[in-house]
Structure 1
Amino acid sequence: MTVGLFIPCYVNQFYPDAAKATLQLLQKLGVEVVYPAKQTCCGQPMANSGFAHLTSDCDALFIQNFAEFDYIVAPSASCVLHVKDHLHSAENEGKAEGIRGKIYELVEFLTDVLKIEKLDAVFPHKVGIHHSCHGLRGLYLSQMTELNAAPFSKPQQLLNMVSGLEQVSLDRPDECCGFGGTFCVAEEAVSVKMGKDRVTDHSKNGAEYITSSDLSCLMHLEGILHRNKSKVKVVHIAEILNATV
């Protein structure tokens, strides 16, 4: 099994430790990982802003970089969902279709493909899980609370394997943080209020860290935490699952 490691542009620029943790974790689990050095943005920001017709070069480069791998894994639910739903190519639609079927967000790759049952990880802290909208309602990493259905949470399943970690219960466990990509620019006041609500839910329930499979959401929440001079920190789930001290 050879995995192509897809690191979204904002992760590469602002949170490289999460990218490194993803690589190290996969290698610990015996996966052969290759990082295509010419990769860049998948085109999600343009597509989500109504300019999907301008992403053809991004699509072509993505296909060029990742078509030949057995699997593609990324530490970002939103970027993975974009590729799953919107990667197309008039010249290479067969390869695009293949990629759409073999790209995975890290958490779902660990639970659904590798089916891991044990992790050598230690993180002695109280942690609250932020279920991002893309991960929750797009990739179905967790059950939506508004549905009358059996609950499940793939991130929670993995965090249960981490020694010393205590998961905190939230009042509204799957509420949107308000980031929404360009939404936080176009609707700043609404976005900030939603983010403050999420931060309050975590902090009042005792979380020392907020984790998620989407660093875009965590980036939004981190800004609010810093402005509030809060001691609560954000950390990508890959960094927790890879932690040994």
Structure 2
Amino acid sequence: MRVGLFVTCLVDLMRPGIGFAAMRLLEAAGCTVQVPAAQTCCGQPGYNSGDRKAARALALKTLKEFAGCDYVVVPSGSCAGMIRVHYPALFKDDPAMIESVNRLSARTYELTDFLVNVARLENIPGTYSGSLTYHDACSGLRELGVQAQPRALLAKMPGVKLKEMDESTACCGFGGTFSVKFGDISASMAEKKCAHIIRSGADAIVAGDLGCLLSIEGRMRRRGDRQTRVLHVAEVLAGENGVCK
């Protein structure tokens, strides 16, 4: 099974270890992983800001780069959602391209969704000992139905104790350009999310979208919390980025 790993801009620039963790998980599931070196952005920032021309150009670039893959896997619900849900909308009036775009969309998955429902990964390569709480990022949850999948994978790790926080499905306030355009509202939402995390009593907050994690971690540290770990689910499952192996 040839899987193309779409690393995402944030992972590449801010925490590349997530990409390596995703690769380790895919390889553990028996996949042959390809990482197109020229990949860049999925086009979501432009799309959300109304720049359909730029978004289409990046979509066409992505389509070309991942053409030879059986599946495209993304360690981000928002970027996976862009490809799977919004690429077809971008090309709905383009009969020359819509068939190819729909094929790409249909074979694109968020990482944990792919590992559970396609690759059916049973043996988790990493180990972890401690408690964690899980934040359900908006795009993965609402566009792709990702909620049970990460929890099912974490449940296969004997050392993990999941402590569900209140309102785990509520937005953390990041929302991409939302956090720039509506900074005060975003900060208030992040503050509420952090309060729920602390009340859960978990040692770590885990999520499947780095954008959410950066927003949450920034707020946690400004609150003076230096202890709560902020981890991508791929890092926990693969035992990467300082997580116990």
Is the Cα contact below 8 Å between 1:67 and 1:95 reproduced in 2?
Answer: no
Identity %: 34
Is the Cα contact below 8 Å between 2:4 and 2:72 reproduced in 1?
Answer: yes
Instruction: Report how far residue 52 of structure 1 moved.
Output: 2.0
Post-superposition CA distance 1:173-209 (Å, at most 9, x none) = 2111111111101111111111111111111211111
Match of 1:170 among 157, 165, 173: 165
Amino acid aligned to 1:205: S
Amino acid aligned to 1:166: K
Alignment RMSD: 1.3
Matched position secondary structure for 2:205: strand
1:18 aligns with 2:14: no
Is the Cα contact below 8 Å between 1:121 and 1:163 reproduced in 2?
Answer: no
Amino acid aligned to 1:239: E
Stretches of structure 1 that go unaligned for 5 or more consecutive residues are 143-152
Match of 2:191 among 182, 192, 196: 196
2:133 is matched with 128
Report the more deviating stretch, 99-108 or 161-170: 161-170
| TM-score normalised by length of structure 1 | 0.92
1:117 is matched with 122
Q: In 1, distance between residues paired with 2:3 and 2:222? A: 39
Instruction: Report how far residue 98 of structure 1 moved.
Output: 0.7
Q: In 1, distance between residues paired with 2:183 and 2:100? A: 39
1:76 is matched with 76
| TM-score normalised by length of structure 2 | 0.92
2:108 is matched with 103
1:239 aligns with 2:235: yes
Query: Mapping of 1:138-177 within 5 angstroms?
Result: 138-142=143-147, 153-177=148-172
Q: In 2, distance between residues paired with 1:25 and 1:54? A: 32
Amino acid aligned to 1:21: A
Amino acid aligned to 2:98: E
Matched position secondary structure for 1:55: helix
Instruction: Report how far residue 27 of structure 1 moved.
Output: 1.1
Q: When the two structures are aligned, how many residues end up with a matched partner?
A: 235
Matched position secondary structure for 2:129: coil
Is the Cα contact below 8 Å between 2:25 and 2:125 reproduced in 1?
Answer: no
Post-superposition CA distance 1:60-92 (Å, at most 9, x none) = 110110122100001010000011122255453
Amino acid aligned to 1:45: P
Instruction: Report how far residue 53 of structure 1 moved.
Output: 3.0
2:205 is matched with 210
Q: In 1, distance between residues paired with 2:217 and 2:168? A: 18
With over 3 angstroms needed to count, the CA separation of the structure-2 counterparts of 1:41 and 1:120, relative to structure 1, is closer
Report the more deviating stretch, 159-168 or 102-111: 159-168
